[in-house]
Structure 1
Amino acid sequence: MANPAVLATENLKQAASALEPLAFRQAPHNLEAEQALLGAILVNNEALDRVSGFLSPDHFFDALHGRIYETLATLIHAGKTATPITVKTFFENVEPIDANMTVPQYLGRLAANATTIINAAEYGRTVYDLATRRALIVIGEDMVNTAYESAVDQAPKAQIEEAESRLYSLAEQNKYGKGFETFRSALTNAIEMANSAFQRSGHLSGAATGLADLDNKLGGLQRSDLIILAGRPSMGKTALATNIAYNVAKAYRGERRADGSMETVDGGIVGFFSLEMSSEQLATRILSEQTEIGSEKIRRGMIEEAEFRKLSEVASEMSRIPLFIDQTGGITIAQLSARARKLKRQHGLDMLVVDYLQLLSGSKSRSDNRVQEITEITTGLKALAKELNVPVMALSQLSRQVENREDKRPQLSDLRESGSIEQDADVVMFVFREEYYIERTKPAEGTPEFADWMTKMSQASGKAEVIIGKQRHGPVGTVELSFEGQFTRFGNLARDYMIPGR
Structure 2
Amino acid sequence: MINTSELYNKEAENRILGILLVNQDNIIDIITRLNTEDFFDKRNQLIFQAIRDLYDSKKEIDIVSVSEKLRFNKQLIPAGGREYISGLAIDVDMVSNYKHYCNIIIKYAKKRKLLDIFNMAEKELIGVKDIDEVITNVKSDVTNLIMNSRTCELTSLFGGVTEVLDKVNTILTSDNNCFGLSTGLKSLDLITSGLCPSKLYVLGARPAMGKSAMAQQISEYIAQDKNVLYVSLEMGIEEYTERSLLSKCGLTKEMLSRKMIGVEQAMQKMVQASEDIAKLNLYIYDKPRCTIDKVEQAILNCRQQKGSCDLIVVDYLQLMKGNDKRIIDTKDIVSQLSNDFKNVAREYKVPVLLLSQLSRALETRLDKRPILSDLRESGAIEQDADVVMFLYRQEVYTQNPTDKGKAELIVAKNREGRTGTINLIFNGSRVKFSEYDEK
Is TM more than 0.5 here? yes
| 2:131 corresponds to 1:155 | yes
Tell me the distance in 1 between the aligned counterparts of 2:170 and 2:322: 37
Q: Secondary structure at the match of 2:408?
A: strand
Residue 472 of structure 1, aligned match among 385, 407, 415: 415
Distance 1:241 1:306, change over 3 A: same
Q: Secondary structure at the match of 2:189?
A: helix
**Equivalent in the alignment of 1:341:** 300
Contact kept, 8 Å, 2:170 with 2:176, in 1: the verdict is no
Tell me the distance in 1 between the aligned counterparts of 2:174 and 2:245: 27
| 2:397 corresponds to 1:437 | yes
Contact kept, 8 Å, 2:133 with 2:325, in 1: the verdict is no
Q: CA deviation at 1:331?
A: 1.4
**Equivalent in the alignment of 1:323:** 282
**Equivalent in the alignment of 1:198:** 172
Q: CA deviation at 1:198?
A: 3.2
Contact kept, 8 Å, 1:275 with 1:356, in 2: the verdict is yes
Q: CA deviation at 1:482?
A: 1.1
**Equivalent in the alignment of 1:216:** 190
Distance 1:366 1:325, change over 3 A: same
Q: CA deviation at 1:429?
A: 0.3
Structure 1: 5+ residue runs without aligned partners? 1-141, 167-177, 253-267, 440-452
Distance 1:487 1:150, change over 3 A: farther
Q: Secondary structure at the match of 1:410?
A: coil
Structure with higher RCO (Cα < 8 A, 6+ apart)? 2
Residue 383 of structure 2, aligned match among 402, 423, 428: 423
Distance 1:315 1:298, change over 3 A: farther
**Equivalent in the alignment of 1:238:** 212
**Equivalent in the alignment of 1:284:** 242
Tell me the distance in 2 between the aligned counterparts of 1:471 and 1:427: 5
Q: CA deviation at 1:400?
A: 1.0
| 2:320 corresponds to 1:360 | yes
Tell me the distance in 2 between the aligned counterparts of 1:151 and 1:470: 44
Residue 227 of structure 1, aligned match among 178, 201, 211: 201
Contact kept, 8 Å, 2:426 with 2:432, in 1: the verdict is yes
**CA RMSD between the two structures:** 3.3
Residue 400 of structure 1, aligned match among 352, 360, 365: 360
- Matched to 2:131, the amino acid is A
Q: Secondary structure at the match of 1:438?
A: coil
TM-score with structure 2 setting the length? 0.65
Tell me the distance in 2 between the aligned counterparts of 1:467 and 1:425: 15
Tell me the distance in 1 between the aligned counterparts of 2:159 and 2:384: 26
| 2:236 corresponds to 1:293 | no
- Matched to 1:185, the amino acid is G
**Equivalent in the alignment of 2:162:** 188
Tell me the distance in 1 between the aligned counterparts of 2:256 and 2:289: 28
Distance 1:294 1:412, change over 3 A: same
Tell me the distance in 1 between the aligned counterparts of 2:376 and 2:168: 36
Cα displacement string for residues 387-428 of structure 1 (whole angstroms, at most 9, x for unaligned residues):
111110111111111111111100001011241010000110
Q: Secondary structure at the match of 1:349?
A: coil
| 2:221 corresponds to 1:247 | yes
Residue 436 of structure 2, aligned match among 465, 488, 493: 493
**Equivalent in the alignment of 1:483:** 426
Tell me the distance in 2 between the aligned counterparts of 1:194 and 1:491: 28
Contact kept, 8 Å, 2:228 with 2:310, in 1: the verdict is yes
Structure 2: 5+ residue runs without aligned partners? 1-114, 143-151
Q: Secondary structure at the match of 1:206?
A: coil
| 2:351 corresponds to 1:391 | yes
Q: Secondary structure at the match of 2:223?
A: helix
Percent of residue pairs bearing the same amino acid type = 34
Contact kept, 8 Å, 2:341 with 2:352, in 1: the verdict is yes
Which residues in structure 2 correspond to 1:86-235 (within 5 Å)? 151-152=124-125, 153=129, 155-156=131-132, 159=135, 179-235=153-209
Residue 462 of structure 1, aligned match among 376, 399, 405: 405
Contact kept, 8 Å, 1:466 with 1:481, in 2: the verdict is yes
Distance 1:431 1:182, change over 3 A: same
Tell me the distance in 2 between the aligned counterparts of 1:331 and 1:321: 24
Cα displacement string for residues 442-474 of structure 1 (whole angstroms, at most 9, x for unaligned residues):
xxxxxxxxxxx4xxx22x221110000101111
Larger deviation, residues 272-281 vs 312-321: 312-321
Contact kept, 8 Å, 2:310 with 2:350, in 1: the verdict is yes
Tell me the distance in 1 between the aligned counterparts of 2:175 and 2:246: 27
Q: CA deviation at 1:339?
A: 2.1
**Equivalent in the alignment of 1:372:** 332
Distance 1:344 1:383, change over 3 A: same
Q: Secondary structure at the match of 2:376?
A: coil
Asked which structure has the greater CA Rg, the reply is 1
Tell me the distance in 2 between the aligned counterparts of 1:247 and 1:394: 17
Tell me the distance in 2 between the aligned counterparts of 1:415 and 1:203: 30
